[in-house]
Amino acid sequence: MLSVLTSFLCFLCAALRTAQIYDAHNPLCRDILRPNNNMDLASLTAVWWAVALLFITVLVTKISRARVTTVDLHRTTGQLPPLVNGVALLKLLPTLLNKGLPAMVNDLYVKYGSVFMVSSFGVKVTLLIGPEVTAHFFQGLESEISHGNLFEFTVPMFGEAVGYGRDTATRTEQMRFHIEALRPSRLRSHVYPMLQEVEGYFAKWGEEGIVDLKLEFEKLLMLISSRCLLGKEVRENMFDEVYTLFHEIEDNGVTLISFLFPYLPTPANRKRDKARIRLTQILSDVVDSRKNSGRVEDDTLQKLIDSKYKDGRPTTVEEVVGLIIGLLFAGKHTSSHTSTWTAACLLSHPTFLRAAIEEQQQISSKYKDMGLDYNAFIEMDTLHSCIKEALRKHPPTPMLVRRAHKQFMVKTKEGKEYDIPQDHIVATPTIVTNNISYIYKDPQVYDPCRFGPERREDKVGGKFSYTSFSGGRHICTGEAYAYMQLKVIWSHLLRNFELELISPFPKTDWGKFLPEPQGKLLVKYKRNGIL
Ligand code: HEM
């Protein structure tokens, strides 16, 4: 959930590079750039600049809104980070347009170092880049640094009973329910249902053909979520309706207007509310029916039903429903984008593809008699590293954002100390951290071996060198679950199909709410059944 939300800031910044997204080779873009279109590229760029700057200002103002105090710079004891003002930002426009958002932030990093402040329309955002300066960002107490009210717009999506509809103490307890429901030891029971879903899904493919893997992954992952998270009642009897309602909530709940004004009676907000009421009704019936019949299932919904607050109070039906919708939301795009990037990376790097297939051969023969189980998937280190490396290069949440409630100090690798003032918005760009060259050797290269026992680049660089799943207090609760489902899918594909990427390696579509692989990922498959 949070992952989707934090990257919203990136989405706004990403609008700045729209001109680059409108690639003249792309038929969709050709339409936009056609001469009879009233806007030429330059004016489009200018409009996007204006819109994006406005959006960023409104967004940051909104985050700061909860408690606006004037930052008294003289109260600071040390030095403030170097300031990048609007003019300096404008000078980076060509980099943004020609090379993209990560390149622009990286240029700032190279020029100003690991800590700098970006100022636009009088609003300041401090960027922290690299493990040396992000410890407090990730580990600070909620009372010192938190998401602020950035995620307020999730309240009408998940309901007032959970998350940002509640006070910090209750929300922290609810986060514990998520952690416990998805803890790695609980994953064992998910492996068999995941395998069944995956085998059933790919059994419907023909002997050979061409598919858009991006779309295929999206559908399959929703089936897995509905089975493992929501449970068999939903999967077997009402998948289509639940899937449609979830889409309605998501499509209408994460528009820019809904994000900024979640309670405005716009048509989109009304559709979102209507869909949530119906989805809540359906899921509440499922929860009630389990409670009344005493039936206990082995899925995440059940774990949330069984969760208890510290004072012994069990979760209410409304809370269980809100918590499970939040999980669906958190895992959906992050997982499907990761599986698509993994496909693009693996299928365009034959050496690693071969290594991943060889690993499948070894593990399949080891588990020939008992069949692949939890332990078998845990042993798939090569595949794990291939996914992790795809995520390093293409994190679905390229920027994480917090608000400092108390001033704090950071010390850079070079020993410089800076004060980050109270009430500042603080951001850390995963996309840049994951590519720091003193941590990752040849960071631009797709090289899963960097995570192997000899190199362990993500570990030797420090605790927060690899932040695709965030870190510390808000580290992704679903990391182990996400890896497991991706490995179950990829293990099946590698064991049963020859795959060939026939569309170009995708660019990143920064114009989306969550940056994603742009366009279709067309893959030619042929069933081989060798393993
Ligand atoms: C490859 C897939 C995934 C990626 C890359 C990812 C990434 C992230 C990131 C970066 C955050 C933290 C945001 C922040 O610090 O502000 C996060 C939080 C979270 N994720 Fe994931 N996620 C993935 C899959 C999942 C799945 C499958 C689930 C659930 C089934 C899930 C559940 C959550 C939850 C509940 C949080 C909130 C944690 C908290 O605030 O305490 N994620 N995720």
With beta carbons less than 8 A apart as the criterion, state whether 138 and 473 touch: yes
Query: Band of the pLDDT at 102, cuts 50, 70, 90?
Result: confident
| CB of 470 closer than 6 angstroms to any ligand 1 atom | yes
C-alpha to C-alpha distance for 424 and 71, rounded to whole angstroms? 8
| pLDDT grade for 270, boundaries at 50, 70 and 90 | very high
Percentage of the chain surpassing pLDDT 90? 72
Q: What is the average pLDDT across 32-36?
A: 31
Ligand 1 atom showing the smallest separation from residue 387 Cα: 1
Q: Note the pLDDT of residue 218.
A: 94
pLDDT-derived band at 28 (thresholds 50, 70, 90) equals: very low
281-305: string of b/e by CB count within 10 Å (b at 16+)?
ebbeebbeebeeeeeeeebbbbbbb
Ligand 1 lined by 334 (C-beta under 6 Å): yes
Pocket lining: 478 vs ligand 1, CB cutoff 6 Å? yes
**pLDDT of 9 strictly over 60:** no
What type of residue is 176?
Answer: R
C-beta 331 within 6 A of ligand 1: yes
Q: How many angstroms does the Cα of residue 272 sit away from the middle of ligand 1?
A: 22
Average pLDDT over residues 32-41: 34
In this prediction, residue 353 carries a pLDDT of: 98
Q: Per-residue pLDDT averaged across 379-390, rounded? A: 98
**Both tokens of residue 395?**
């994190």
3 lines ligand 1 (CB under 6 A): yes
**Separation of 351 CA from ligand 1 center, angstroms?**
30
Average pLDDT of the residues in 48-60: 48
Q: Is 340 in the pocket of ligand 1 (CB under 6 A)?
A: no
Tell me 315's DSSP state: P
Residue pLDDT, tens place only, 486-520: 999 999 999 999 999 999 999 998 877 778 999 99
Spatial contact of 517 and 341, defined as CB atoms under 8 Å apart: yes
In this structure, are residues 190 and 484 in contact, taking their beta carbons and an 8 Å threshold? yes
**What pLDDT does 497 receive?**
97
Nearest CA to ligand 1 atom 35: 477
* Listed range (75-79, 290-294, 468-472) with the worst mean pLDDT: 75-79
Establish whether residue 6 lines the binding site of ligand 1, counting it when its CB lies within 6 angstroms of any ligand atom: yes
Mean pLDDT of 212-222: 96
The answer to whether the CB of 134 is under 6 A from ligand 1 is no
Q: Is the CB–ligand 1 distance for residue 225 below 6 Å?
A: no
CB of 45 closer than 6 angstroms to any ligand 1 atom: no
Q: Report whether 13 belongs to an annotated binding site.
A: no
Distance of CA 331 from the midpoint of ligand 1 (Å): 7
Q: Of residues 11 and 391, which shows the higher confidence score?
A: 391
Q: Name, in order, each residue with C-beta under 8 angstroms of 301's C-beta and a sequence gap of 6 or more.
A: 229, 230, 231, 283, 286, 287, 320, 324
Ligand 1 neighbourhood includes 253 CB (under 6 angstroms): no
Q: How far is the CA of 402 from the centre of ligand 1 (A)?
A: 15
Distance 37 CA to ligand 1 centre (A): 41
Structure tokens, 367: 């588990």
- Where does the pLDDT of residue 530 fall: very low under 50, low under 70, confident under 90, or very high at 90 and above? low
Does the C-beta of 1 come closer than 6 Å to ligand 1?
A: yes
Return the residue whose CA atom lies nearest to atom 32 of ligand 1. Answer: 478
Write out the H or E segment, with its range, that includes residue 276. helix 267-293
Q: Where are the domains of the chain?
A: 42-527
CA of 397 to the centre of ligand 1 (A): 9
Give, as one character, the DSSP assignment of residue 464: T
The pLDDT of residue 348 is 97
Task: Tell which residue, 346, 428, 443, has the closest CA to residue 393.
Answer: 443
Taking residues 249-266, what's their average pLDDT?
A: 89
Architecture of domain 42-527: Orthogonal Bundle (1.10)
Rounded average pLDDT over 214-235: 95
- pLDDT score of 406 more than 70: yes
pLDDT band at 77 (very low <50, low <70, confident <90, very high): low
Between 4-18, 141-155, 410-424, the lowest mean confidence (pLDDT) is in 4-18
Q: What band does 73 get if pLDDT is binned at 50, 70 and 90?
A: very low
pLDDT for residue 27 is more than 50: no
Provide the pLDDT confidence category of residue 31 given band limits of 50, 70 and 90.
very low
Six token digits for residue 107: 């240029």
Q: Is the CB of 154 under 6 A from ligand 1?
A: no
Nearest CA residue ID for atom 7, ligand 1: 469
Please tell me if the CB atom of residue 341 comes closer than 6 angstroms to any atom of ligand 1.
no
* Element counts in the chain: helices (H) and strands (E): 25, 13
Residue pair 489/202 in contact by the 8 Å Cβ criterion: no
For the chain, what percent of residues have pLDDT higher than 70? Answer: 85
Q: Which atom of ligand 1 sits closest to the CA of residue 326?
A: 35
Task: Report how far ligand 1's centroid is from the alpha carbon of 335 (Å).
Answer: 10
Positive or negative, the CA dihedral 194, 195, 200, 203 is positive
- Judged against a pLDDT cut of 50, whether residue 71 lies above it is answered with no
Centre of ligand 1 to C-alpha 332, Å, is 10
Q: Is any atom of ligand 1 closer than 6 Å to the C-beta of 124?
A: no
Residue 102, judged by CB atoms within 10 A of its CB (0-12, 13-18, 19+), counts as buried
Listed residue (269, 247, 248) closest to 257, CA to CA: 269
Determine the pLDDT at residue 394. 96
Q: What spacing in Å lies between the alpha carbon of 299 and ligand 1's midpoint?
A: 19
Number of the ligand 1 atom closest to the C-alpha atom of 6: 16
Please compute the mean of the pLDDT values over residues 104-119 and round it to a whole number.
Answer: 93
314 CA from centroid of ligand 1 (Å): 24
Encode pLDDT of 117-168 as tens digits.
Answer: 998 777 789 999 999 999 999 999 999 999 988 889 999 999 999 999 999 9
Write down the mean pLDDT value for the chain: 86
User: pLDDT tier at 101 (50, 70, 90 boundaries)?
Assistant: confident
The one-character DSSP state at 228 is I
Mean pLDDT across the stretch 6-25? 32
Cα–Cα distances in Å, from 330 out to 31, 250, 397, 436?
Answer: 34, 11, 11, 27
- Mean per-residue pLDDT, 79-107: 86
- For residue 408, pLDDT beyond 60: yes
pLDDT at 223 over 90: yes
pLDDT at 332 over 60: yes
* Residue ID of nearest Cα to ligand 1 atom 43: 476
Residues in the chain: 531
State residue 19's pLDDT score.
26
Predicted pLDDT at 83: 93
